[in-house]
Amino acid sequence: MSRYTDADRARIFAESRRLLKDQPPPAPAPTPEPPPLIIETEEQRWYREANAAIAQRAAADAERRAEERAANDVRAANWWAAIDARIEAKMVEHCRAFDELAKASAAFADAVSARLQELETLLTKLDATHAKMRAHDAREPIDLPGNPLVYKVKEQRRVN
């Protein structure tokens, strides 16, 4: 087993070829230039810190507003769900009351029909009795002296 990996072997092989060809070593990678040295005054530091605090506060405010909007959206959704549930409950109650009214109206109509049937039967009996009474009242005593039991029939007259 070899101590060198394939990458190490390739690097060593490339370096030995370069040395055998008498080529100069590759230029080292340029080092990044250090950041410029900034000397700031107290006033500049205060401005920088104030601007950072303002930016931080603006970010916090934006986050808070986003959370409030999300909470308001949830609250609005819950409110609409409650309103829909209330409407649904009222509709169910209204339908139940309407069904009850329909059943009561049908029962009332049946009772009225039965009572009208009874009244019609009674009216038929009353008409028959009234006809008998009219026939009885149509008789008048005959005007014979001394005979009060003989009646003559009156002319038929209609009573409305």
Q: pLDDT tens, position by position, for the chain (160 residues)?
A: 578 899 999 988 888 888 888 877 777 788 888 888 888 889 989 999 999 999 999 999 999 999 999 999 999 999 999 999 999 999 999 999 999 999 999 999 999 999 999 999 999 999 999 888 887 777 655 555 555 555 555 555 556 5
Structural domain of residue 96, as residue ranges?
43-153
What are the CA-CA distances from residue 18 to residues 13, 25, 46 (Å)?
A: 9, 8, 57
| Domain assignment of residue 141, yes or no | yes
> Can you give the pLDDT at residue 144?
54
Cα 27 from Cα 145, distance rounded (Å): 172
| Domain assignment of residue 78, yes or no | yes
> Can you give the pLDDT at residue 69?
94
| Domain assignment of residue 92, yes or no | yes
Please, what is the Cα angle at 142 between 137 and 147, to 5 degrees? 120
In this structure, the dihedral spanned by the alpha carbons of residues 105, 108, 110 and 115, taken in order and rounded to 10 degrees, is -160
Cα 79 from Cα 88, distance rounded (Å): 14
Q: What is the pTM of this model?
A: 0.38
If one counts the domains in the chain, the total is 1
Structure tokens at 35: 């950041």
Cβ count within 10 A of residue 119: 11
